[in-house]
Structure 1
Amino acid sequence: MRQRRERSVFLEAMGSQAELLHPKVREYAEGPGGAEGERGVVVGEGVFRVAGSRFGRLNLIARPFVGPELLMTGFGRNVPFLVRNEQSLTPDGATKLTATRVFCFEGGEQRFVDELFVGPDRGTLTNVLGGAGRVELRLRCSATDRGELVLWSERAWLRLAGLRLRLPSFASVSVHVLHGYDERGGLQTVAARVRNPLLGTVLEYEGSFDAWPEQ
């Protein structure tokens, strides 16, 4: 029997736009199984020039609402990190990409976990954040004229007690992620920023890393 294969969430969402990505960015977006996205894992290791949240332990106030493995209490420069992207199928047959990022702050490790699914409209992704999956974003994805993958949020919801509540703008966050490739260093690059209209930047990370399929 032929093994079932699931397509990369990025390639499926982007459609023909994926052809505009830098070859190395596209390779990373394809995942461990290539364009058809076989089940598997890609791992990466690198250094963030800057990472975390300047609000520090104040972020603990929101943790009862958003759950663990989402908000950071650490902040630093030249922060080593690990990333693990696991592609799999949900019970209903949808492709899911689970990303686990481990930030190695001087005060100890902290994790940021999220899941990506193909969104309801062309060029969109559904992004479920945190270990409890209580924050949901609608992301738009595209390619820049330099071949970078760019993601930005359009809407946000809070999922609690079986409810899915659209967040008003003042309580919401906007996300912007730019993923590229450093030709000179031969490394993947990423710059991400999460902002709230009232508080400003609540999470950021920027740096470079190498990635390879897990054996």
Structure 2
Amino acid sequence: MTSAPPPATTPVSLFHAAMGADFDRLHPRIRRRFSVGLRGGEACTGRGVMDRIWHGGAFVKPFLAVGATRNILVPREGRDVPFVIENVPYADTFGRETVSFVRTFDLPGGPRRFDAQMVLDPRGDRVLDYLGTHQHLATELRLRAEPDGSLLIRSGEHRFREGPVDVRVPALIGATAEVRESYDDRSGRFRIRVRVVNDWFGPLFGYEGSFTVSYTDVRRHGVRPGLRPVREEARA
């Protein structure tokens, strides 16, 4: 007589739901950070320093400048740049559990933001990443635990949406993002590395640095004004 399989663990967050059993392979500190969600009721704020924010060739700068008007990417390079990342769960206008990924970089000349809001894809095995203040760009994200317990995130297809327009962003002007987040037990800090690459033109943009985090009760403190996007996109 074969025994029944153990019951599936109830996902604690949309990231846990997307990763399934692979979530348990993450470093415990990474698991805690990506357990942020409505079920747990916690928000996570990271504060640290980007050792480097870099850009590709000069042709990239006009695209970064346009994106910056909607808090997409960062139009300036820098070293030793203080930054804050705010991961706050909330229910969006359409009732979907959402977690903010709002990064603020304290660059010379004034702070710059890179906004993203994440929801679980209807298929349940990936995350949808809506970019910017108006969520005009959306991309699929695949999440994977690496052997050392770090989290690897890779982007897939990008779509542009505005009113009736819903089109795939061509590979010629699109890009693939790779994000690696890990925890350094010796320093007690999270480490982040982001790299955005175009298939035709090569590396476009990226940053790397480290940070510490603190957790707050989102049911008590709520979502601060200005963290949510101006416009929310219903299309998955």
Deviates more, 1:46-55 or 1:130-139: 46-55
Give the structure 1 partner of residue 62 of structure 2.
58
Distance 2:54 2:87 in 1: 20
**Measured at CA, do residues 61 and 51 of structure 1 come closer, stay the same or move farther in structure 2, by a change above 3 Å?**
closer
Give the structure 2 partner of residue 10 of structure 1.
15
- Equivalent of residue 79 in structure 1, options 78, 81, 98: 81
Q: Who wins on radius of gyration, i.e. which is larger?
A: 2
Deviation per CA, 1:44-97, whole angstroms, max 9, x where unpaired? 10011111535575235644xx85101322101111101111101134432100
Instruction: State the Cα distance separating 1:121 from its structure 2 match.
Output: 3.1
Q: Secondary structure at the match of 1:115?
A: strand
Q: Secondary structure at the match of 1:30?
A: coil
Deviation per CA, 1:141-177, whole angstroms, max 9, x where unpaired? 1101111111101211111233221112112110100
Give the structure 1 partner of residue 198 of structure 2.
196
Q: How many residues align?
A: 205
1:144-183 correspondence runs (5 A): 144-183=146-185
Bigger fraction of residues in helix: 1
- 1:44 and 2:46 matched: yes
Residue 111 of structure 2 aligns with an amino acid whose one-letter code is E
Deviation per CA, 1:86-126, whole angstroms, max 9, x where unpaired? 10113443210011111111232100000111123343110
Q: What are structure 1's unaligned runs of at least 5 residues?
A: 1-5
Q: Is the 8 A contact 1:158 1:166 kept in 2?
A: yes
Bigger fraction of residues in strand: 1
CA RMSD of aligned residues (A): 2.2
Q: Is the 8 A contact 1:128 1:134 kept in 2?
A: yes
Distance 1:32 1:138 in 2: 19
- Equivalent of residue 32 in structure 2, options 24, 27, 30: 27
Distance 2:37 2:159 in 1: 30
- Equivalent of residue 211 in structure 1, options 210, 213, 224: 213
> TM-score, structure 1 length as denominator?
0.86
**Measured at CA, do residues 24 and 61 of structure 1 come closer, stay the same or move farther in structure 2, by a change above 3 Å?**
closer
Residue 109 of structure 1 aligns with an amino acid whose one-letter code is P
Q: What are structure 2's unaligned runs of at least 5 residues?
A: 1-10, 218-236
Instruction: State the Cα distance separating 1:197 from its structure 2 match.
Output: 2.3
Residue 27 of structure 2 aligns with an amino acid whose one-letter code is H
Give the structure 2 partner of residue 3 of structure 1.
none
Distance 2:195 2:129 in 1: 15
> TM-score, structure 2 length as denominator?
0.79
Identity across the alignment (%): 26
Distance 1:173 1:209 in 2: 26
